[in-house]
Amino acid sequence: MGTTEFSWKLADHPKLPKGKTIALVVLDGWGEADADQYNCVHVAETPTMDALKNGAPERWRLIRAHGTAVGLPSEDDMGNSEVGHNALGAGRIFAQGAKLVDHALASGKIYESEGFKYIQECFDEGTLHLVGLLSDGGVHSRLDQLQLLLKGASEHGAKRIRVHVLTDGRDVLDGSSVGFAETLENDLANLRENGIDAQVASGGGRMYVTMDRYENDWEVVKRGWDAQVLGEAPYKFRNVVEAVKKLREIPNISDQYLPPFVIVDESGKAVGPVVDGDAVVTFNFRADRMVMTAKAFEYKDFDKFDRVRFPKIHYAGMLQYDGELKLPHYYLVSPPEIERTSGEYLVYNGVRTFACSETVKFGHVTFFWNGNRSGYFDSSMEEYVEIPSDSGITFNVKPKMKALEIAEMARDAILSGKYQQVRVNVPNGDMVGHTGDIEATVVACKATDEAVKIILDAVERANGIYVITADHGNCEDMVKRDKKGKPLLDKEGNIQVLTSHTLQPVPIAIGGSGLPAGVRFRADVPDGGLANVAATVMNLHGLEAPADYEQTLIEVVD
């Protein structure tokens, strides 16, 4: 077999010119669904997006954004930002964390990993702490994986286990945390019957405790640290089911935002603070919302908040969360090796890139886009700008978020003539969609559309090209439905609001005054998905995509 030497240099596209400015816009959580009153894209005034859809059928289409198209275990798995932006940026489909963890647990290989052996060293004398999101959402973690890990760890020598739960209600229905807590309690009771001292030790809602991302608000991580490590929290309960039920009674408190609590014994003492000699595993496989906590557990020098105590522990992540920082050092399952991403190719092929979003999505168009790698490939060729997000609020309060600021930043970057790729994420449809506030989500969709308009106007002025797409669905369907698509009602006859992502496809539109005539979507890639976008964009930059990238969505007809 002959080998050709690897080169970062890409061949020129035979028909498309180099040097065009491309605006690459990802509308977070913006899928395509049938029109009804729970489809906020439909309800909102969205003239710009409507014009793209209704204007040029050969330059607007739908692409797949969930399930196997983005490396998830099954077609029942909704898409999410991590796998979506990984696919968009890398141009290929990688088996993702959810799937890799499934395999490692099923084969037992997880227990042979260096990471597991490292935490196992603490099992004789210390406690094993498992910290993570308690739901079957499959976006950051999965309950069945936690269950297997609990069983496997006890079979591999863990004698004392403490679980620190984060309630969800964002990737799953609000209120479902009670059921997940009951299931977990039941599993831990079974372990206790088998002589393992296993209990829930602390908890809190994922958006208020521990799972912040991109350093938006370290207070969130601190609340988790205080409850999990120090055993201190404003609420104390004897068991997790009671905790979740009682805290949900607080007005305006949902699963996502439960305040931190600790479980105490009959004398009021926390049952599971983390102390010297313990092992800690963060069992989420998804990276973004574990990086900050991983730093708190791992870094000796740390100044983001006062940890009060920094116990000598053995810490491992379910996966390694940041490939560049090698964080954490120990992990139970190797993450997908997402290399040779489109961003890295571009810097070797003379394409200057500008990437921007607000804090809550900033890492999506940088870190996720580049294969879960922080930092620049080449700072002389790239500029990443983060617009600070509002913190300490739920985004239904300010549903316009920073869409306008992001669009203006993109506009200025396009008009500056300094960049050939201007890449942004507009977060509103997703971030407001997750609150379950339908009225606010309609406002979010309108704001998104206005942002797109600003960017398209700049593209026209710069004689550039636009590629408008999304990473997965969310705001286009805000109600839980039965198999026939009919909204499901709860016992009181109210609709069940869907705070999570969806299984819907997402739109992709191309155009702009700089788009050469004759460029259109091919008809022979009907199953195209997010991973086909990278080759498409490379073509629009006048480059052929690497041979192993998923095929381009476009052709040029004479």
Ligand X SMILES: O=C(O)[C@H](O)COP(=O)(O)O
* Enzyme catalytic residues: 81
- Say which amino acid occupies 186: N
Of the candidates 456, 445, 458, the residue with the CA atom closest to the CA atom of residue 46: 445
Nearer to ligand X, 171 or 344 (CB): 171
Would you count residue 28 as binding ligand X (CB under 6 A)?
Answer: yes
Chain length of the chain:
558
Contact of residue 289 among ligand X, Mn ion, none (CB under 5-8 Å per partner type): ligand X
Minimum distance, C-beta of residue 211 to ligand X, in the bound complex (Å): 7
102 binds, among ligand X, Mn ion, none (CB under 5 to 8 A by kind): none
Element (H, E) at 407: helix 403-416
First to last CA, the chain: 38
Closer to ligand X by Cβ: residue 132 or 231: 132
CB closer to ligand X out of 75 and 124: 75
Q: Which is nearer to ligand X, 427 or 542 (CB)?
A: 427
Burial of 66 (0-12, 13-18, 19+ CB in 10 A): buried
Min. distance of Cβ 554 from ligand X in angstroms?
27
| Cα 486 off chain centre by | 28
Residue 29 Cβ vs Mn ion, minimum distance, rounded to whole Å: 5
Contact partner, 248, from ligand X, Mn ion, none, Cβ < 5-8 Å per class: none
State how beta strands 261-263 and 279-282 pair: unpaired
Kindly state the helix (H) or strand (E) to which residue 416 belongs, with its residue range: helix 403-416
Asked whether position 171 contacts ligand X by CB under 6 A, the answer is: yes
Q: Does 477 bind ligand X (CB under 6 A)?
A: no
Nearer to ligand X, 97 or 273 (CB): 97
Cα 524 to Cα 10: distance, rounded to the nearest angstrom? 24
Q: Record the tokens describing residue 35, joined without a space.
A: 């029109």
Shortest separation between residue 259's beta carbon and ligand X, angstroms: 19
Q: Single out the residue of 24, 131, 139, 280 in contact with ligand X (rule: CB under 6 A).
A: 139
CB of 477: closest distance to ligand X in angstroms? 14
Question: CA 117 to CA 330: how far, in whole Å?
Answer: 10
Which does residue 477 bind out of Mn ion, ligand X, none, counting CB within 5 to 8 angstroms by kind? none
The interface mask with ligand X, positions 308-347, x = CB under 6 A, is ----------------------------------------
Residue 316, classed as helix, strand or coil, is strand
Which residue sits closest to ligand X, CB atoms considered? 81
- Closest by alpha carbon to 227, among 260, 256, 200? 260
From 278, 298, 386, 430, residue interacting with ligand X (rule: CB under 6 A): 430
Instruction: State the number of binding residues for ligand X (CB under 6 A).
Output: 11
Residue 80 engages ligand X in binding (rule: CB under 6 A)? yes
Q: Which of residues 367-426 bind ligand X (CB under 6 A)?
A: none
Taking the least distance from each CB to ligand X, the nearer of 270 and 530 is 530
Q: Compute the least distance from the CB of residue 139 to ligand X, in Å.
A: 4
Is 29 a binding residue for ligand X by CB under 6 A? The answer is yes
Minimum separation from the CB atom of position 414 to ligand X (A): 25
d(CA 482, CA 486): 5
- For the sheet with 465-470, list strands across it: 60-63, 506-511, 465-470, 22-27, 421-426, 353-358, 382-387
The torsion angles phi and psi of 264, rounded to 5 degrees, stand at -120, 160
Binding site for Mn ion (CB under 5 A): 28, 81, 430, 471
Q: Is 284 in the site for ligand X (CB under 6 A)?
A: no
Phi, psi of 21 (to 5 degrees): -90, 125
Closest C-alpha to 82, from 286, 290, 294:
286
Smallest separation (angstroms) from ligand X to the CB of 231: 27
* Interface with ligand X, residue 289, by CB under 6 A: yes
Q: Which of 66, 142, 170, 423 binds ligand X (CB under 6 A)?
A: 170
The DSSP line for 420-484 is SEEEEEE-HHHHHHTTT-HHHHHHHHHHHHHHHHHHHHHHHHTT-EEEEEESS-STT--B-B-TT
- Indicate left, alpha or beta for 260 from its phi (over 0: left) and psi (-120 to 50: alpha): beta
The amino acid occupying position 281 is V
Contacted entry of Mn ion, ligand X, none for residue 170, CB cut-off 5 to 8 Å set by kind: ligand X
Is the Cβ of residue 29 or residue 205 nearer to ligand X in the bound state? 29
Phi, psi (degrees; rounded to nearest 5) at 555:
-140, 165
Tell me what percent of the chain is helix, strand and coil, each rounded to the nearest 5: 35, 20, 50
Applying CB under 6 A, among 21, 46, 48, 81 the residue interacting with ligand X is 81
| Cβ proximity to ligand X, 204 vs 511, nearer residue | 204
Rule CB under 6 A: say whether 476 interacts with ligand X.
no
β partners of residue 163: 130, 200
Closer residue to ligand X in complex, CB, 39/80 = 80
Q: Distance between CA 11 and CA 25 in Å, rounded?
A: 25
Binding-site partner at residue 171 among ligand X, Mn ion, none, CB < 5 to 8 Å by type: ligand X
**Minimum distance of ligand X from residue 427's CB (angstroms):** 8
Q: Which residues sit at the interface with ligand X, rule CB under 6 A?
A: 28-29, 80-81, 139-140, 170-171, 289, 430, 434
